[in-house]
Amino acid sequence: MEEIKEEFFSFPYHRGTITASVPGERVAAVLTPKGLTEGDGEQRDLVKEALDNPIGSASLSRLAEGKRKVVVITSDHTRAVPSSITMPLLLKEIRSGNSEAEVTILIATGLHRETSSDELLDRFGREIFQRERIVVHNVEREDDMVFIGDLPSGKGCSLNRLAVEADLLVTEGFIEPHFFAGFSGGRKSVLPGVASRETVNANHSASAIAHPLSKTGVLEGNPIHEDMLAAARLARVDFILNVVLDEEKRIVGAFAGDLDEAHRSGCAMVSSVAGVEKVVSDIVMTSNGGYPLDQNLYQAPKAISTAAECVRPGGAIVIAAACHDGFGGANFEKLMRIGDPRRIEEYLLSLSDEDTIPEQWSAQILSKVMSKATVILVSELDPGDVRSVGLVPASDMAEGLSLAEGIVGKNASITVIPDGVAVIVEGGMDR
């Protein structure tokens, strides 16, 4: 009997990786971003070059001249923004134009929990953590929110007062595929980053999530993106710095300047790197990109929705997401415990935009996928908790694959997507 050749794959998991052995003849495709890496000493140089050559904008140092209250919005603990590299360069650029500027770093938590002191220290390093004024956006502080106008959808927009009242508003972030905003980065620092609960809920309503153009890699005609961009313009974002990261979370591209122009330039780079041809199989194996995005189950639908593009109806998805912080949201957990995914989806689609429940977007997308395929979760969650929300628990990827084979058969075809957040699935074929 001919020996079956095994192929080994690594999947990002928490702060490391988790591996799986897969029969080689059953692997239909391995979908990964195109390789794009830089040397160890070049990350800072890429950022410096972007700041020296802003797109569609004067330099940040020039914009800072005469500005007293300067606010720099940056991402929270759930995003892998390399602020220890980018923030010192941003602050140096601002202060080279105005040494007297009063700088506030505003952490864009959206509807997430507040970022802890330890997480801030980990993000920025001790010097910035101890020296700079850092304020964490807290959506519960309604008095901190200021109404600034209406968005293209007709919904109102309220943002953190610090951002609205800044003399100079700067944002930093990173760009990757996003499953309903098209791409992360740019305008997302403002909405949902520093927006009120009502503003975020309206932007993430069931009708907006269900729109056919609210999808990965799409900006034109995407109603969620359009409202996000309008909110950032209403806030008068003066300058952005966005980076593109490789699979090691290293900077491989940097884009600075105008809110929309610089962001679109970065999105074009991500599209050229992340686009992969769809190959549909019986089983899809993937991950949610490791730390910090796999801290909770609430974020896991990002990779699960990518896998859903490549799994046949009735198939199985095996996803690795550590979920050390648990479910990640009380409303999300409560909705998922309804049980039947079709009931969850129908219930959420019946809600008006005004009645949007915080965190419902995650339950809506996850339940839609669960109506198509079985989702097997490799995580640190209690197996009983995993089952309580309709998912199948597995201790590792090997057990996950075995469980999937029990559903679709031992000879099932397999599509491997090591990082489900890092790719944009396009066109392609079914097997």
| Surface-to-core class of residue 271, CB atoms within 10 Å of its CB (0-12 exposed, 13-18 middle, 19+ buried) | middle
The pLDDT, as a whole number, for residue 3 is 59
pLDDT in tens, 252-272: 999 999 999 999 999 999 999
The arithmetic mean of pLDDT across residues 211-237, rounded, is 97
pLDDT in tens, 114-154: 999 999 999 999 999 999 999 999 999 999 999 999 999 99
Q: Which of 14, 77, 137, 178 is catalytic?
A: 178
Reported as a pLDDT band with limits 50, 70 and 90, residue 431 is very low
Mean pLDDT rounded to a whole number for the chain: 94
Per the DSSP assignment, residues forming a β-bridge with 177 are: 183
Radius of gyration (Cα) for the chain, nearest Å? 21
The arithmetic mean of pLDDT across residues 202-223, rounded, is 95
- Rounded Cα distance, 366 and 301, in Å: 6
The pLDDT, as a whole number, for residue 39 is 43
pLDDT in tens, 272-328: 999 999 999 999 999 999 999 999 999 999 999 999 999 999 999 999 999 999 999
The answer to whether 225 and 219 have CB atoms below 8 angstroms apart is yes
Residue 324: active-site member:
no
Residue 178: active-site member:
yes
The answer to whether 124 and 154 have CB atoms below 8 angstroms apart is no
- Which bin fits 384, alpha (ψ -120 to 50), beta or left (φ > 0)? alpha
pLDDT in tens, 53-85: 999 999 999 999 999 999 999 999 989 899 999
- Rounded Cα distance, 34 and 18, in Å: 21
The pLDDT, as a whole number, for residue 248 is 85
The answer to whether 128 and 95 have CB atoms below 8 angstroms apart is no
The pLDDT, as a whole number, for residue 40 is 42
Q: In what order do the strands lie in the sheet with 168-174?
A: 133-136, 102-108, 69-75, 168-174, 239-245, 251-257
The answer to whether 246 and 36 have CB atoms below 8 angstroms apart is yes
Q: Which of 112, 137, 204, 263 is catalytic?
A: 112
- Rounded Cα distance, 404 and 26, in Å: 13
